[in-house]
Structure 1
Amino acid sequence: MSGDLRRNLFPTLFSFFVGSTFEGTPREQQALLELEDTIARLKREKETSKNTLNYLIVASTVKDVFPSSSNSS
């Protein structure tokens, strides 16, 4: 699989696209874009996306359970 990624530019371009649109901290985005290994970049982007998705699921659930808590801040 890693050989396929190295021969084909699409995964590299895609990994840079994902990194450039990352909505996290600027430091994390820069770290993603500085990774020279496409496989490592894609794995880190996958992990970051998974963590972000989990956070959003929990935040949405809390908002649904405690709808007035967002108004009290």
Structure 2
Amino acid sequence: MSTLQRIALLLIIIGAINWGLIGFFQFDLVAALFGGQDAAVARIIYGLVGISGLIALSLLFKPSEEVETEPEKRYS
């Protein structure tokens, strides 16, 4: 996984936690921390989370890498 994909995954997790808070408690953490939904910083964060979701689409269609294992070692 590339660094860009890891950053995107981190932002997606932040967005998911924020949506969970909105859904369960009607509390928007990003808006509370950065001055409301219309604040420039909050809008940038919302935008970055959205772009991260698009980047994560590449992970959805990426074939899983096979793990190479060493042959079983036999001790006598």
Which has more helix, going by share of residues? 1
- TM-score band, normalised by the shorter chain? 0.3 to 0.5
Q: TM-score, normalised by structure 1?
A: 0.41
Say which structure, 1 or 2, has more relative contact order (CA 8 Å, 6+ apart): 2
TM-score by length of 2: 0.39
